[in-house]
């Protein structure tokens, strides 16, 4: 079974240059925001979003097949669940 992929936040760090609007950078500094941490969090969010998109594209056929199965046969064990719940 495929493991859910997550952003890789562990390991060594590297310095990089990021171009930001000057006014935004000054505002962030005046609010005492850790620019590196904010950039890391934002990039991790974008990586998570992109990984989810890739997963959905890779598994689209299986998801559609399961939806067809549910349409044709109903939810598995639905009769048992209605008695238990």
> What's the pLDDT tens digit per position in 51-76?
999 999 999 999 899 999 999 988 88
Using CA atoms, how far apart are residues 67 and 73, in angstroms rounded to an integer? 10
pLDDT value at position 85? 62
Using CA atoms, how far apart are residues 67 and 84, in angstroms rounded to an integer? 24
pLDDT value at position 30? 98
Number of domains observed in the structure of the chain: 1
Q: What predicted TM-score, i.e. pTM, was given to this entire model?
A: 0.66
Domain contains 37? yes
pLDDT tens digit sequence for 25-38: 999 999 999 999 99
Parent domain of 65: 22-84
Domain contains 43? yes
Check residue 34 and report its DSSP letter. Answer: -
The encoded tokens of residue 18 equal: 């990021």
Give me the helix-helix angle, 22-30 and 35-58, nearest 10°.
120
Asked whether residue 1 carries a pLDDT value surpassing 50, the answer given is no
């Amino acid at each position: 079974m495929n493991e859910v992929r997550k952003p890789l936040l562990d390991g060594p760090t590297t310095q990089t240059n990021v171009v930001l609007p000057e006014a935004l950078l000054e505002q962030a500094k005046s609010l005492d925001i850790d620019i590196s941490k904010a950039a890391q969090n934002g990039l991790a969010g974008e990586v998570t979003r992109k990984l989810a998109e890739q997963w959905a594209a890779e598994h689209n056929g299986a998801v559609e097949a399961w939806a067809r199965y549910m349409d044709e046969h109903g939810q598995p064990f639905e009769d048992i669940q209605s008695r238990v719940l």
